[in-house]
Amino acid sequence: MSRLVDLMQGSAPPADCGDLSSLPVERAEILPETMLVFHMDPRSPGADRYRLLRMRLRELGSSGKLKTLLITSPLPHDGKSTVCMNLATALAEGGKKNVLLIEADLHQPALNARLGINAWAGLAECLEGGVDSRSVIRRVHPLNWYLLPAGGPRANASELLQTAALGGVISKVSPHFDWIILDSPPVLPLSDATSLARHADATLLVARADRTVREAIDETVAIIGRQRIVGIVLNGVSSFDRSYSKYYRSYYSPKAQRPEDNNS
């Protein structure tokens, strides 16, 4: 904890979150194992699925029904954080939209390490120590979204997420962003997701193909509440339907590009 606080105190002075351009910038190291397909392979079928998900979410967002989205999974290692980062990148649209990813997994924070950036104080310090949430938000380059990391691991993580301070953090930052994504711990081992769901407009559930059993999904839906779940993402699909893949390769082959595509 002391290292995280020292890092925060040694950084640039806290910026007004209302002026997002003044927030510090962290340069991420995007490696293949980061699984940021939307950034690294934007013409892949996987990236296209995130575009489809973005389109569906936009429809709800434009109606005023959705801004803060909780992303969780039934079990650990279902890939929810990978979905969070890819979806944040898709929703940011290269910086056209202001998207904030809040890492709310205070048990095993991992986003800083996966992005190859140094840790700094985050949500845990905001909830426990009263740190101003606006002072610990960074813009992640080149992904063009903003990160409020988990901060230091806490033994009382579940208790922290049940305090009124969490609602205060979200209320303070909400006016400055078009989308807020909450990266939640998995549902079945912990109670954190149910606490976080109260602060979100909807929940997106992530399940892993050939791993997450139907019973775990059903139990998770019952715990969160069917009315709160906006959709389920099937993660880790090894291959798409053969006809779809063939179409996709043809559509994005150099011969299929129109002349104006080369000027974009």
Average pLDDT for 228-257:
59
pLDDT for the residue numbered 108: 85
- Asked if residue 261 is part of any domain, the answer here is no
Q: What is the mean pLDDT of the chain?
A: 84
Q: Does 59 map to a domain?
A: yes
Share of the chain above pLDDT 90, in %: 66
Query: What local confidence, expressed as pLDDT, does residue 18 receive?
Result: 59
Give the whole-angstrom CA distance, residue 195 versus residue 34.
28
> How many Cβ atoms are within 10 Å of 67's Cβ, its own excluded?
16
Tell me which residue range forms the domain holding 202: 2-254
∠ at Cα 86 (220, 120), nearest 5°? 90
Which pLDDT value is given to residue 189? 75
Q: How many domains does the chain fold into?
A: 1
262 part of a folded domain: no
| pLDDT in the model for residue 210 | 82
Mean pLDDT value across residues 117-129: 93
Q: What is the pLDDT of residue 239?
A: 59
By DSSP bridging, strand 99-103 and strand 202-208 are unpaired
Residue 15 class from Cβ within 10 Å (0-12 exposed, 13-18 middle, 19+ buried)?
Answer: middle
Residue 211 counted as domain residue: yes
Looking at residue 82, which CATH number applies to its domain? 3.40.50.300
212 residue type, one letter: T
Residue 140 domain flag: yes
For the chain, strand residue ranges (E) read 25-27, 68-72, 99-103, 138-141, 145-148, 179-183, 202-208, 229-235
Query: What is the band of 252 on the pLDDT scale with cuts at 50, 70, 90?
Result: very low
- The confidence score (pLDDT) of residue 172 equals 94
Q: What is the pLDDT of residues 142-193, one digit of tens each?
A: 999 999 999 987 888 889 999 889 999 999 999 999 999 999 999 987 788 9
First to last CA, the chain: 46
Label the pairing between strands 145-148 and 99-103. parallel
Residue 229 lies in a domain: yes
Q: Is residue 137 within 8 Å of 17, Cβ to Cβ? A: yes
Q: Indicate whether 263 belongs to any domain.
A: no
* Interval 253-262: pLDDT, tens: 444 443 333 3
User: Which is more confidently placed, 253 or 223?
Assistant: 223
- 242: pLDDT strictly greater than 70: no
Which pair of tokens denotes residue 8? Answer: 């925060």
